[in-house]
Amino acid sequence: MTQIPDLTLAELRDALKAKKLSSLEATDAYLARIDKAGALNAFITLTAEKASAMAKASDAKLAKGEGGPLEGVPLGIKDLFCTEGVLTTAGSHILDGFTPPYESTVTANLWRDGGVMLGKLNMDEFAMGSSNETSFYGPVVNPWRRKGSEQKLTPGGSSGGSAAAVAARLVAGATATDTGGSIRQPASLTGTVGVKPTYGRCSRWGIVAFASSLDQAGPLARDVRDAAILLKSMAGHDPKDSTSVDRAVPDYEAALGGSVKGLRVGVPKEYRVDGMPQEIEKLWAAGVEWMKDAGAEIAEISLPLTKYALPAYYIVAPAEASSNLARYDGVRYGLRAKDYKDIRSMYEMTRAEGFGNEVKRRILIGTYVLSAGYYDAYYLRAQKVRKRILDEFIEAFKSVDLILTPSSPSAAFGLGEMTDDPIQMYLNDVFTVTANLAGLPGVSVPAGLDANGLPLGLQLLARPFEEETMFKGAAALEKAAGFAARPEEWWG
């Protein structure tokens, strides 16, 4: 018999409904697996007792033939989502001991639909990072290794814990967030599927803020179907979030069977960046052929402002971060420094002790670009560039339905390889930041392995709120790629 953690989320959901197994059995199987995977450092907080209680409640519903779309399915939650009564740290020392008295809307939606919480997943501090090395709780280790090597690799970031947990089958699926690529880049580096929905599709209420005009919640899952199931539950209008869009949530899973025949897929020539490995270039070309074979039309398109996306992002995001992170001062919750003399020194010492170097770097950059003498030269100009990038995409989408690009400029790299060079680290987001600046939906689908046996992903972008078209394309890409590789279980 197939081991429970080997079932996809869709298979597990169907087995639970058919009463072939119980939620408690599934939860116990995942908890036992997590117990042996300490070497991956994917979890910050394990909620075993809560998971068992939720599983028993799900089993009672399932026994009566009741239950929601995710009834009894064990999930992992990125530690950026506030969970009532459960430690929420955002991967930072400054939120030591913070247990929210409320539930984020996205997680509340998952529990409403019957999901079971296994625990809170590790992440880059305040979601600032591309390698999960800025977490106060230590780096997450990618379950994948290069052939013949024992070097520890990054799972990507900031949602590294979510990606590693899904890839190692420690959870059936996970929540994540994407501010500049923090769902799609880790998905690419771990051979998983990551979806960044349209800005406003999922509520941001109860998610610890990084850059409010860019942050968006989404799922990390093993395949496209699982991602579609999770997004259906996560999405929805929320009056508590002024940026949440009041629009019906489609049945994304139902869209997967649809044909891509007649869809026009754009291939942007500007995404061929200097120094990009030949393997990624080759995989991209293969992706174009796969879409063509599935019946789609291919068109070369031009997005010349792409080269300005990364600089614009690294002005806008830190500016918003410096504003959002001003609330962490040691007064109301979280860490408070000891031995301070007055309130000012308490603020200073708490923030100096509580924030890591990358967060401090971004607060300083953000404060600088918002300062009186530089606001027009940097922040205002970056916002104008952002608007031009959106206009460029709107123009491109007049002639194409989807845009196909690589997800990441490289496969997983070694922990510590880029930590001394922030610019090199920031370049990991080169293919993903445009979707955040323009508010577009994007998905990364695992499409192949490099020469070292590491996964590589391809990305599809769609028009705002056309996730159904995107899922249709992603399913076609997934079928053609036939990606079935799994990491060898060295950590157990």
Triad 462, 463, 464: Cα angle to 5°: 115
The amino acid at 73:
V
- What average pLDDT does the segment 136-159 reach? 97
| CA–centroid distance for 408 within its chain | 13
> Residue 423 and residue 410: Cα distance in Å, rounded?
15
> Both tokens of residue 395?
């123009």
Please give the average per-residue pLDDT across 145-159, as a whole number.
Answer: 96
CA angle 467–233–245, rounded 5-degree value = 60
Per-residue pLDDT reduced to its tens digit, 4-23: 999 999 999 999 999 999 99
pLDDT at 257: 84
Weakest-pLDDT range from 83-97, 136-150, 332-346, 408-422: 408-422
Catalytic residue list: 78, 158, 182
DSSP E strand boundaries for 179-215: 193-196
| Superfamily of segment(s) 1-492 | Amidase signature (AS) domain (3.90.1300.10)
Does the pLDDT at position 162 exceed 70?
Answer: yes
Half-sphere exposure of 18 (CA within 13 A, CB side): 7
How many Å apart are CA 296 and CA 464, to the nearest integer?
Answer: 20
Residue 317: both structure tokens together: 């995001």
For residue 91, give the 3-state DSSP assignment. Answer: coil
pTM of the model: 0.97
Cα(91)–Cα(128) distance, integer angstroms: 10
Length of the chain equals 492
The predicted-structure confidence for 424-459, as pLDDT tens digits, reads as follows 888 888 899 999 999 999 999 999 999 999 999 999
For the stretch 57-67, pLDDT in tens is: 999 999 999 99
Q: Which of the 8 DSSP states describes residue 269? A: G
- Helix (H/G/I), strand (E/B), else coil: 440: coil
Confidence at 275, pLDDT banded by 50, 70, 90: confident
Asked whether 76 and 171 are in contact (CB, 8 A), the reply is yes
Q: Tell me if residue 252 falls in helix, strand or coil.
A: helix
Sequence spans of domains, the chain: 1-492
Beta carbons of 147 and 140 less than 8 angstroms apart: no
- What mean pLDDT do residues 163-174 have? 98
Cα dihedral angle (23, 184, 354, 86), rounded to 10 degrees? -10
pLDDT score of 184? 98
Q: How far is CA 266 from CA 288, 396, 476, 477, in A?
A: 9, 8, 15, 14
Average pLDDT, the chain: 96
Residue 238 pLDDT > 70: yes
The whole-number average pLDDT for the span 132-148 is: 97
**What does the alpha-carbon distance between residue 366 and residue 378 come to, in Å, rounded to a whole number?**
10
Tokens of 398: 């007049």
Residue 421, pLDDT > 90, answer no
Paired sense of beta strands 297-301 and 264-268, if any = parallel
| Three-state secondary-structure class, residue 247 | coil
- pLDDT tens across 114-127, in order? 999 999 999 999 99
Binned at pLDDT 50, 70 and 90, residue 420 comes out as: confident
Burial of 109 per CB tally in 10 Å (0-12, 13-18, 19+): buried
